Amino acid sequence: MSDHATVNAAVLERPGAPLAIERLVLAPPRPGEVRVRMLASGVCHSDLHVRDGDWERPGPIVMGHEGAGLVEAVGRGVESPRVGDTVALAWLIPCGTCRSCRSGRTWECPVSPSYRHQMLDGTTRFRRPGGDPVLAYCAISTMAEAAVVPALAAIPIPEGLDPAAAALIGCCVATGVGAVTKTAAVPRGATVAVIGLGGVGLSCVMGAVLAGAIRIVVVDRVPAKLELARELGATDVVLADDVPASSLAALRDATDGGPDFVFEAIGLPATVELAIGALPVGGTAVLVGMTPYGVCASFEVFPFVDGSRRILGSNYGFAEPPIDFPRYARLALDGRLPIERLVDRRISLGDVEDAFDRMRRGEGVRQVIVF
């Protein structure tokens, strides 16, 4: 039993319930798995969707899907990562055999084993002291002092990044930067709008700067977020009010009739409709924000078809973690992707419910649990 560890972890008993910090027993890594000493875990809006019951998930489950840490043990047969490596964790491991995976579009894998919230062998390494198993969110459960994860999810990144920034590579940075540079492949000189400036939307802004967009218009209802976006490279800001029509006019004014690309990073019908409605002829709306299940949005079909407009869905910024995570980390180390600017509050594990409250109020950008 000596290689079993005891760790503090944020556990969701069932969707809709508050998270509770529990002492759990963590079994050692089996073949193909590694144990990661967590250094930091972001609190993402997707965690709030699960916490509030917008999406069905099984429980009890250790939450968190945006983290970075140090590899402290590896199971039999694991060649990468190695003990001592700094890793960012990927929340989607491709199944490897579905049609998407076979065609190399691993980010859209609908049957990823990560979505079973267990290790690849269908069991979990977390137990309550009484013996009951506890699941691991997306198989990486970053809201724990340490976690056993599939080796495939633990992606080595260059050393030297602030752990809080490294953690964000695993979700919001990959999602936002990838939506711009991979899903949309925004060309140099394009005009871009970003609606919603949380960790995901601000990562879209950083991606647009990297891509060489000539205008970057941002929309949010919180003035401080508009200011931060401006510091990151936004050229025009629009304070959203309750009248979507005024945001629409402001978006068009700033971009000579409408942005070539609009990124929606909230997941609300009204802002999805704003994104599509703002498109000029030939424009592309990229939907990045996730809604609760069952939510619909609508648009007028004739001008959409007549103007050859496009709507793209972007899951996880088309991330290929083994290639993209070290690349994003390198860009951050070189000062070209200022991820640390998104970290607005460092908290401890016990503050996670308070972090959700602030997120519901739209306060703060990325709150990061540091261990």
Q: Which of 10, 34, 39, 44 binds Zn ion (CB under 5 A)?
A: 44
Shortest Å distance, C-beta 164 to ligand APR:
15
Residues 156-175 touching Zn ion, rule: CB under 5 A, are: 171
Shortest Å distance, C-beta 264 to ligand APR:
9
Nearer to ligand APR, 205 or 266 (CB): 266
Residue 7's SS3 state is: strand
Residues 265-324 touching ligand APR, rule: CB under 6 A, are: 265-268, 271, 288-290
Q: What's the Cα-to-Cα distance from 43 to each of 68, 232, 268, 353, rounded to whole Å?
A: 13, 21, 20, 10
Angle at the Cα of 199 (from 100 to 220), degrees rounded to 5? 115
Q: Residue 190's binding partner, choosing from ligand APR, Zn ion, none, with beta-carbon cut-off 5 to 8 A by kind?
A: none
Strands 154-156 and 86-89: antiparallel
Q: Residue 213's binding partner, choosing from ligand APR, Zn ion, none, with beta-carbon cut-off 5 to 8 A by kind?
A: none
* HEC string for 270-338: HHHHHHHHCCCCCCEEEECCCCCCCCCCCCCHHHHHHCCCEEEECCHHHCCHHHHHHHHHHHHHCCCCC
Say how far apart CA 220 and CA 123 lie, in whole Å.
42
Q: Residue 101's binding partner, choosing from Zn ion, ligand APR, none, with beta-carbon cut-off 5 to 8 A by kind?
A: Zn ion
Q: Residue 95's binding partner, choosing from Zn ion, ligand APR, none, with beta-carbon cut-off 5 to 8 A by kind?
A: Zn ion
Is 20 exposed, middle or buried, given 0-12, 13-18 or 19+ CB atoms closer than 10 A?
Answer: middle
Shortest Å distance, C-beta 175 to ligand APR:
6
Say how far apart CA 257 and CA 329 lie, in whole Å.
36
Q: What's the Cα-to-Cα distance from 309 to each of 93, 226, 281, rounded to whole Å?
A: 32, 27, 6
The label of the residue with tokens 């009890």 reads 60
Q: With binding defined as CB under 6 A, does residue 125 bind ligand APR? A: no
Strands 33-43 and 20-26: unpaired
Q: Which of 30, 100, 362, 370 binds ligand APR (CB under 6 A)?
A: 362
Size of the site for Zn ion (CB under 5 A): 8
Residues 46-65 touching ligand APR, rule: CB under 6 A, are: 46, 49
Shortest Å distance, C-beta 35 to ligand APR:
27
Q: Residue 49's binding partner, choosing from Zn ion, ligand APR, none, with beta-carbon cut-off 5 to 8 A by kind?
A: ligand APR
Q: With binding defined as CB under 6 A, does residue 197 bind ligand APR? A: yes
Q: With binding defined as CB under 5 A, does residue 101 bind Zn ion? A: yes
Shortest Å distance, C-beta 327 to Zn ion:
19
Say how far apart CA 279 and CA 38 lie, in whole Å.
42
DSSP 58: -
Q: Which of 25, 98, 210, 312 binds Zn ion (CB under 5 A)?
A: 98
Q: Which of 150, 198, 207, 283 binds ligand APR (CB under 6 A)?
A: 198
